[in-house]
Amino acid sequence: MRRVSSLCADLAGVALVFLLSVTVVDIVARRVGLFNVRGVVEISTMAVVLVGFLGLSHSFLLGGHIVVDLATKWLPRRANDRIDAIAMLVAAVCLTIVVVFMWRATARSYFDNAISLDLQIPMFAFWLPATIGMSLAPVACVVSARDKWRGESVE
């Protein structure tokens, strides 16, 4: 799980570098009057979504989310870890529901031969990696919950 999650996080990093590169090229090329990148808004939107969905599971495994513990900071670390583990399991259930809807949308985009408006890219090519990345998130939550419950947190 950790290797696959790490690979997805690396792909998210590639998508982020691609997003930055396309944006810089578009701005510089327009500024000097050479050309503008067709579909830059579409490319940017797809890249941002891929960054989020592909990096989500890795963030859960690393404990990389913001935690506000004003109500529980006085409790012992073990109690806080147990509370975090339960919260991760609740998150896993909620994310699983989202994943089901994403797989339905992915299948629909495939069977409908949906294409993007500007670049005419098959939407399935965009939906599939996003859905795979999102599908790892509930699993990562369960792994993180197990580690927190055992007191093996990464932090």
Name the burial class of residue 46, with classes exposed (0-12), middle (13-18) and buried (19+) by CB atoms within 10 angstroms of its CB.
Answer: buried
- The encoded tokens of residue 78 equal 């073990």
Quote the CA–CA distance of 148 and 143 in Å, as a whole number: 9
Q: What is the pLDDT along the chain (155 residues), one digit of tens a residue?
A: 889 999 999 999 999 999 999 999 999 999 999 999 999 999 999 999 999 999 999 999 998 887 777 888 889 989 999 999 999 999 999 999 999 999 999 999 999 999 999 999 999 999 999 999 999 999 999 999 999 999 886 65
- The encoded tokens of residue 52 equal 């989020």
Cα 58 to chain centroid distance, Å, stands at: 8
pTM: 0.85
Quote the CA–CA distance of 121 and 14 in Å, as a whole number: 19
Quote the CA–CA distance of 66 and 59 in Å, as a whole number: 10
